[in-house]
Every structure is written in structure tokens, then in C-alpha cells.
Amino acid sequence: MGSNITEFYKNKTIFLTGGSGFLGKLIIEKLLRSTEVERIYMLIRPKRGEQIQSRMAVLRSNFMFSELLKLKANSLEKVIPIAGDCALPDLGLSEADRQVLTEEVQVVVHSAATVNFVEPLSSALSINTRATRLLVQLAKQMGRLEAFVHVSTAFSNCPVEHIRECFYPELLSCSADKVLALQDQLSCELIDQMTPALLGKFPNTYTYTKALAEQVLQREAADLPICIFRPGMILPSYKEPFKGCIDNLYGPIAISYGCAAGVVRVVSIREEARTNIVPVDYCVNLVLSCAWQAAVATAQRRVPAQDPTIYNFAPSAQNPITWRKYTDLYANNKHIYPVNQMIWFPFTILASNLWFFKLLTVVYHHLPGFLIDTALRLKGQKPRMKRIYSKIHESLKMLLPFSFPNWTFEMNNSDRLIKSMSPQDRLIYEFDMNSIDWKKYMVVAIMGMRVYLFKEELTEESLQSAKKLHTRFLILNYLVHFIACCIPVAILWWVYVKF
């Protein structure tokens, strides 16, 4: 039996937002490598004075496309930039580009978003919520549309502990319609001042505006062949296009990066809580698979679905991974691919009590940082550790709402999707979270972090140099801890003898 999904994308025209992001680039890569799409229109905005053609040139030279270009040297010519901006009215599209999209596009993948947890509400509303409404309105004008995938997040309904594959309008203090109407009537400053009242139980503007976007889809997109993809924390690739592919420092990978460098030593986290991490290549495969399923289901139905189908995507109940397991796997395998840029032996202390965490940061972060900055000043160099630790602690603070709750996710729709796929499709578009060996995946992620984030090659010379440094710091770490333990013992002994 052949690949139904590959056949579905043959000669198709795709419209993709968020194509310059981590997930977006790999959606492009997979489409071009595994299917025979006709073209991919990619929404892209000028950035910091850089025009879209120069941005496209940078995109085409990205390392993520290296395997693709070996197989299909000219494949990226199928990616056509469309000037626009999700933060602008009408997505910043020209009339000519809008006409091209409405006449040609058959599949829409909307993955553009601001993932900044502290984004001002006025900005997050424009990019995450209003842009979704504008995409829906544009999609309704697409005469050839067969499928629309909206990329949301597993945490769009995070005030709920067990998240089902349904909508949760009751979590919103104010409907999406009313919030967007307020944005039209009030200044950005006033909207931002109203943030605490509007957010309610949501921890940040990111999760809140993604929840609003889902309500927009529920209310306004029922007549479209649409589905919603809710991924967990997206981490390096497991297998495709090559192992360990990563280009950003978001979520747990940022903490792992700091730990690998020997800078982050204390993390505030609930050990028994589930991590909800997902490999990026599995996310790509599910996005492409659920678009196919949306097209098939729409073609088979005689009446529109009551609600868009939702695909939660996180580690399964049969193959979970907790924060304790995550950190243990990292600790037990970090020696395989150590980095030459480490400044101390990498270790991590988990603290579930916030007061204990603050105490440990004084000992393991602020004190070493003060000593390093003092040494830099004595050398006539600019101190930097205080600034670095300020950023680290701010990042850890932003991650707190995601490191303590123990969410569970219903994933019936992805299970049903797997069962509906042919054996070949299950191989080409693999996303079964039960198949992941978490130990192997952690080794892959550590390797990817070393190569693609630290930019250190996997040569024997480089690895041996890093392993020697790792051993040296291990000995020094034991020595420092021994001396630190001896000092209070010596003081107590002196007090005992003296008095």
C-alpha cells in the first residue's frame, strides 16, 4: 500500500505563515523532501530594515535544508515569498498577492505566533488572535481550499489540569469578539494596563491570546476544512531531517543549554510533574497528517463539522516523562557530548520549594557570579555574570507556570489518525509518542545542542578536549564542595574547643 499523504500533497499549493520559525522551516523541509508539492507561498515580513528577498536568501542557506538540497538541489525554488505581517491590518497583503492566494491555495498552515511570554497584550492580541481571524477570513475566499491547520499550543487551556480535545470558552473572562473590539476602541497603553484583569487564570499573554484564537476558530471557522494542532514544548528533532536539529533557546532546551555550559545549577521545578516535551519532527509529521485527514473528512461529510477537530500532542500516558526523569537522563548522558565552552562542571539541583530555590541560587549562582565578576574587574575586563544570571532567573521565573502543574492530555484524535494511516504513511509521517525511547532521545538532544547551539563539531579532537575539561571540572567541583563542607565543621570545632 502506498502513501496516501504523499499523494495528497502532489501538485498542491500551500500557504504557510511562520515559515521562518523553527517549526515552519521544518514543515517546508519535509514538504519539499517527502512530497511533490507544486509551490509553497510563505508569508514573510521585512525585518530590521532587511527586505524579504535578502531574508529569503538567509532562509535558503539555513543548515536545516542541507539534507534536502543533497537530494533535490533546486527544491527551494518552490518557496515563494509573500510580503506581509501578522501584526498589520489585512495581514499587510497587497491586493495582487491576496488574489494569488485566493485563486491558487489548497492547503493553509498557520503557525505564525509570538511565543514571548511577556509580550505586551496589545501586540500579542494582534499577532496571535487577530491574525488568526484575518487568516480565517482569507481562507473563506479561497475557492480551492481543501485543508487548514492552525498551530496552537498544548497550554492554550492551561488553567485546566486534564486537557481534553475540546474548546474551553468558560476559561475566558471576556470573549474573543469583545477583547478584539476593545483593542479597536482603546489605545495600546490602556489594553496593556488591563492585562491582569483580562488574563484571569492564564499565566501570561501567550497562552491567553492563543486561547482567544481558538475561540475565534470555534465561532468563525466551522464551515472550513480546519483542524487545530496543540503541541507541547517543541524540542530538537528525533530523526528528521537529521538527529538533534535545533535552532532556538526556548523552554527546557534553554535550561539544558545553561546547564551544559556549567552556568545554570539550580532549577525550580516539580520533580514528579510531566514535562510535555515533543520532538519537532514528530510535530511536523502530525501537522501534515492532520491536514490530509481534514481534507479527507471534509470530502466524506455532507454537512460541516460542528467544531474543528483538535489534536493535543504531548507524551502519551503509556510513555510519559517527568521532570525528574528528564534531568536524570540529562545528568546520566551529558558526558557523551560535553562542550568546550563550559565554565564549570555541569550539574543541576532541583528545588520544588521556592524559598529553598532562592537560598540555593545565592550559593550556586550569585556567589560564583560575584567571584567571577570580581576576577574580571581585577583583569581590567567588563563584568558580565550578574547580567547573565539576571536574565537566567527571569527566564526561570517565566517557566514556573509550566514546571509545576502536572497536566495530562487526552489524545484520542491523534490515536485515531494513526490508525487511519497506511503502514507506509506511519513510517514516512511518524508521530507516535509511544515509539520514543526517551534515553536515546536525550542523547540525540544533547548532541544536537552541542552541534547546532554551541556550534562545536563532533570531531574526535573536539570531543576529547571537552571530555578532559569535563573531568577536570568534576574534580574541582568535588574539591570545592569538600572545602565548603569543611569550613562550617572547622568553625563549629573551633567554637567547641574555645568554649
Q: What is the pLDDT along the chain (499 residues), one digit of tens a residue?
A: 679 999 999 999 999 999 999 999 999 999 999 999 999 999 998 776 667 888 888 888 899 999 999 999 899 999 999 999 999 999 999 999 999 999 999 999 999 999 988 899 999 999 999 999 999 999 999 999 999 999 999 999 999 999 999 999 999 989 999 999 999 999 999 999 999 999 999 999 999 999 999 999 999 998 899 999 999 999 999 999 999 999 988 888 888 999 999 999 999 999 999 999 999 999 999 999 999 999 998 888 755 667 899 999 999 999 999 999 999 999 999 999 999 999 999 999 999 888 999 999 999 999 989 989 898 898 888 988 889 899 889 888 888 888 899 999 999 999 999 999 999 999 999 999 999 999 999 999 999 999 999 999 999 999 999 999 999 999 999 998 888 788 777 777 776 676 6
Other CB atoms closer than 10 Å to residue 353's CB: what's the count?
10
The predicted structure's pLDDT at residue 249: 85
Q: What is the pLDDT of residues 455-472, one digit of tens each?
A: 999 999 999 999 999 999
- Which one, of 26, 102, 145, 98, lies nearest residue 452 by Cα? 26
Amino acid at 325: K
- 173 CA to centre of own chain: 26
pTM above the 0.85 mark? yes
The stretches of 305-383 forming alpha helices (DSSP H) are: 323-333, 354-361, 367-378
The predicted structure's pLDDT at residue 265: 92
Burial 132-167 (b: 16+ CB within 10 A, else e): bbbbbebbeebeebbbbbbbbbbbbbbbeeebebeb
Largest CA distance in the chain: 92
The predicted structure's pLDDT at residue 47: 73
What domains are defined for the chain?
4-247+275-318+404-436 (3.40.50.720), 323-402+454-498 (no CATH)
The predicted structure's pLDDT at residue 54: 82
Rounded to the nearest integer, the mean pLDDT of the chain is 92
